[in-house]
Amino acid sequence: MPVTVRLLAASEWRLWRDVSLQSLAESPDAFRPTLAESKDQPEEFWRGAVAPTVEHERCNLWIAVNGDDPVGKLFARIDEELTTVYMGALWVAPDLRGAGIGTRLMQAAEEWGKDSGVTRSELWVTEANQAAVHFYEYLDYLPTYDTQVLREGSKLVVRRLQKTL
Ligand SMILES: CC(C)(COP(=O)(O)OP(=O)(O)OC[C@H]1O[C@@H](n2cnc3c(N)ncnc32)[C@H](O)[C@@H]1OP(=O)(O)O)[C@@H](O)C(=O)NCCC(=O)NCCS
């Protein structure tokens, strides 16, 4: 079945919850939130994470679906000055990697940013995550000198990347 990349609707908070928990379990070093702090969150948490985001004019969530199964996701937010689109939470199911889904998700958000008048895209990547580092290189993201730890107590370093759109 072909994989579809599309915007998430507010009513689809369960899809976002399911794909988010999969991503945190599968790629714990790629994201600041942890599975431990996310897995027992009640329905209100996920409704509260999804609806205000997709209903906000400067935020969006994209989902990749294979039939009814969520197989990828991306969050993006545009700053108040309409200069930069910030990407986050990108994940593609392991068995579907290498098929261009990550690229399609990123391109959807970059196009939305450009259509909104934005000229720059930014994101943070864990330096040790070589697959993602190569992926962002492929998409023409450039490293900045900005680094920080992934989360409090972590030894993992994340670096800010940017791209002119
Ligand atoms: C990073 C990630 C989103 C890439 O998604 P994907 O759908 O596999 O990416 P694409 O198929 O669009 O890849 C596009 C290009 O990126 C590069 N790339 C992707 N994965 C790569 C890897 N593992 N090693 C080297 N280069 C890679 C390649 O140049 C690839 O083009 P090619 O297949 O023609 O060689 C995916 O590996 C993933 O979900 N990883 C775990 C979560 C994660 O790290 N998220 C990022 C958080 S910052």
Q: Give me the chain's average pLDDT, please.
A: 97
In the reported structure, the alpha carbon of residue 137 is separated from the centroid of ligand 1 by a whole-number distance in angstroms of 10
Per-domain boundaries in the chain: 3-164
pLDDT bin (cut points 50, 70, 90) of residue 1 is confident
pLDDT in tens, 17-32: 999 999 999 999 999 9
In the reported structure, the alpha carbon of residue 98 is separated from the centroid of ligand 1 by a whole-number distance in angstroms of 6
Q: Mean pLDDT over residues 115-125, rounded? A: 97
In the reported structure, the alpha carbon of residue 43 is separated from the centroid of ligand 1 by a whole-number distance in angstroms of 31
pLDDT of residue 44: 97
Query: Using a 6 Å cutoff on CB, does residue 157 contact ligand 1?
Result: no
The answer, as to whether pTM is greater than 0.85, is yes
- Whether 158 shows a pLDDT value over 80: the answer reads yes
In the reported structure, the alpha carbon of residue 42 is separated from the centroid of ligand 1 by a whole-number distance in angstroms of 31
Query: Using a 6 Å cutoff on CB, does residue 90 contact ligand 1?
Result: yes
Q: Mean pLDDT over residues 110-135, rounded? A: 98
**CATH number for region 3-164:** 3.40.630.30
Query: Using a 6 Å cutoff on CB, does residue 92 contact ligand 1?
Result: yes
Long-range contacts of 96-102 (CB under 8 A, 24+ apart): 96/3, 96/64, 96/66, 96/71, 96/72, 97/131, 99/3, 101/3, 101/5, 101/64, 101/71, 101/72, 102/72, 102/135
pLDDT in tens, 38-55: 999 999 999 999 999 999
